[in-house]
Structure 1
């Protein structure tokens, strides 16, 4: 049984990862890491199995990581409204709270997690990122001038260079829809984002991303792989995850 720490565990995707890992108690012992006990109580109905802290605090990360064999990184900077629309019909101005900028959260916060994982002897890190990181002009980078996708890619490279076994899942647009009933397509360098096959929307249910995380710990073909992933609602349902991971490009 592998002891797995999931950071960002009360988020919309993180909570699904915790749930899916808990459904395999013979394989995984799950520890959730989050900032707010109140949020954990709200999402899970209990704070059992959680450690609370901040990814900016190495001490709390070290405490949470103790005895863990796997780490799932699901933390991300979250845009918020910083100014209302100046005129009717316009969009509000979006940005990030002080200390919650992508450089601090998506880069330095992930570096802190990677270094804590190295110190704890973690055997595999699964990082959930985003497609679009090859395009500096992607609209997400303009939010608050935070360059969120650029910082995410820098963190990915830090993980690759760390020497830790890793799986990097760069998800397409995340959907709050049921999982387990779509064909999953993998690629790299944002090809699926810019030229999705057959005009399919480059998106994927959060539940399917969560399942990929779980399977990454179960299938050796997922080791040291970094890939983009989207879903096709019309194709045959993906069930052979070993084969799916094998179609990705090492490194």
Structure 2
């Protein structure tokens, strides 16, 4: 039998689920994390922080049902196909299974973490359109739910190959083109607040972001944090011609679907001040920035 808990968090060893689980624990809430491997270092870290574990697999409905026992609120997030672990169709199956299980268990509130690109019509990219389908399914069920659509993570800026270690950083937007982003710490505390206040947020769809940033903003912040100039440039046309995945993402930034539409002042009125990139670089993101900045030069930069 599962130990008593108020909230069940899926993806608890991942970025989003981990941020939400820790934010709930920081608020003194009882949390159950859904994990595949209870012996992994991340799972052990969850237990050390006071989070109980429910061991299961998102392709095993029975294990999801067991994890739901006695739960009030659920945070649902699934792995997307670019990670290479699941297909878009499998992501949809998992998202629907969690929603079905929450309904069957009589859970009082389900928060589904979608994407800022979802709910705005077909994108032609399966890992975005899959989330739109899950959103529609969740809203079709008679279970109180909230959809959160996070902007791109600041943590994504630190992925290998972006060029920080060469002094020439490349990303999706033009130098003067804004793109919304969010720090995972803000994502965690916003979703935790929503879970703790279901009456206020049930039935709502929230676009969430910390800050709108241009390429020039990235150049300034990175240069300031590094202590030497970091030049910003958009991915080259040659790279976008070769890489259809990056090209389509760039097109979705240009047409606004991935650029972000969150009302940041309204979010800050509800949830408090959001973390800005400069704060992130000297706080939660400091070790990631240092690692990206000092990565071996042999690393191939995307251009």
Do Structure 1 and Structure 2 share a fold, with TM-score over 0.5?
yes
Q: Which residue of 238, 249, 270 corresponds with 1:241?
A: 270
Determine whether 1:19 maps to 2:22.
yes
The structure richer in strand per residue is 1
Higher-Rg structure is 2
Determine whether 1:55 maps to 2:58.
yes
RMSD of the TM alignment (CA)? 2.9
Structure 2 unaligned blocks of 5 or more: 157-175, 214-263, 274-303
The structure richer in helix per residue is 2
Q: Which residue of 44, 67, 89 corresponds with 2:46?
A: 44
Structure 1 unaligned blocks of 5 or more: 81-95, 142-146, 178-197, 245-251
Q: Count residues with an aligned counterpart.
A: 197
Q: Which residue does 2:277 correspond to in 1?
A: none
TM-score by length of structure 1 reads 0.69
Whole-Å separation in 1 of the counterparts to 2:178 and 2:32: 36
What whole-Å deviation, never above 9, does each CA across 1:172-211 have from its counterpart, x for those lacking one? 111239xxxxxxxxxxxxxxxxxxxx95421111111111
Determine whether 1:156 maps to 2:148.
no
Q: Which residue does 1:249 correspond to in 2?
A: none
What whole-Å deviation, never above 9, does each CA across 1:143-183 have from its counterpart, x for those lacking one? xxxx1111111111111010111110001111239xxxxxx
Inter-CA distance 114–238: structure 2 relative to 1 (3 Å threshold): closer
Tell me the CA shift for residue 33 of structure 1. 0.3
What whole-Å deviation, never above 9, does each CA across 1:9-67 have from its counterpart, x for those lacking one? 00012111111101122xx2100001122143464364950111111111000110000
Determine whether 1:76 maps to 2:79.
yes
Tell me the CA shift for residue 110 of structure 1. 0.9
Whole-Å separation in 2 of the counterparts to 1:158 and 1:109: 12
Q: Which residue does 1:202 correspond to in 2?
A: 180
**Would you say the 8 A contact 1:215–1:241 is kept in 2?**
no
Tell me the CA shift for residue 75 of structure 1. 1.8
Q: Which residue of 87, 93, 115 corresponds with 2:100?
A: 115
Whole-Å separation in 2 of the counterparts to 1:41 and 1:72: 17
